[in-house]
Amino acid sequence: MTTLPAASLERVLLRAGSIWHTGQGGAPHMVIYGATGSGKGTLNKEFMARLCTAERVLIVEPKRQADPIYQGADGDPWQWGRPVREICPQFGYRGEPGGGPHGMWYRLTGSPDRADTARRFGQALEIVANEGMVCLFLDDVKETCKALGLAQHVESIMSLGRSAGICAVLSTTETSYVAGRSQGAMTWVGFTGGSIPAAKSGAELLGWRGRERQDQCGTLDRYDWIYSDGEPGSAGPVLTRTPAPAVAYEPDLARRPAFA
């Protein structure tokens, strides 16, 4: 089996941060693929803490109950975004203050009422599409696109992307419902739960063919990631790892070279 070069998460995020930003010329979208428990939420928090400290952020959580991965440390429920049922136009700039280091992070939460969740999420995605200049985290894009019927909203945002200053992160357990997956400038493939079809789908997202590459995706542990991008200067796919999810972050503005 071909051995992938390993790189620290710090180094990989410096690479990702140099090409993923809301400014002109930024590569707009990432795709994160892995089984439940692979560490997708933990990886999202790494992006937020290291790349989005001064950005307007919206996490879209379509689950029926809030994901505990985004519960803040030290009694701060807004650490990873203020939980809200709806967002207003110009959120982060006016209206209700948000969470995060500069009060510009929000978490749009789902509920057991799926019709109401779809309505609220559709309105929020329309605001994002109309205003731009936001880092959008679609926590379970399959649920948002399929169960809530918002595939067209997501596709529209993916198409706008670079021109509107929208940086989207699409997290998913299945690739068939990943709207705009072909537009992902950066791809992260993680733990696939021992499923051969899932490992094959991960290899295909990376543009790989063949049993050896499929097996490589199938042997990843939880919190292991294969990172790849197709932007200029890419050194090819590398293997990296996120820390345990219990880590609490203290965002440091000095560590944001991509937004300087």
State residue 27's pLDDT score: 63
Residue 130: partners with Cβ closer than 8 Å, 6 or more residues away: 89
- Cβ atoms 161, 128 nearer than 8 A: no
Burial class (CB in 10 A: 0-12, 13-18, 19+), 87: buried
State residue 35's pLDDT score: 95
Confidence of residue 226 (pLDDT cuts 50, 70, 90): very high
Asked whether the predicted pLDDT for residue 162 surpasses 80, the reply is: no
State residue 53's pLDDT score: 92
Confidence of residue 249 (pLDDT cuts 50, 70, 90): very low
Alpha-carbon span 141 to 172, nearest angstrom: 6
51, 56, 57, 124, 222 from 163: Cα distances, Å: 20, 16, 18, 19, 35
State residue 1's pLDDT score: 55
* pLDDT (tens digit per residue) in 60-103: 999 998 888 888 877 788 999 999 999 999 999 988 899 999 99
Helices (H), 33-134: 40-51, 114-131
Give residue 42's identity as a one-letter amino acid code. T
Query: What mean pLDDT, rounded, does the chain reach?
Result: 87
Confidence of residue 250 (pLDDT cuts 50, 70, 90): very low
Task: Average the pLDDT over each of 34-38, 54-58, 63-67, 189-193 and give the range with the smallest value.
Answer: 63-67
* pLDDT (tens digit per residue) in 164-175: 889 999 999 988
- Compare 53 and 255 and report the one with higher pLDDT: 53
Domains parsed from the chain with CATH numbers: 9-243 (3.40.50.300)
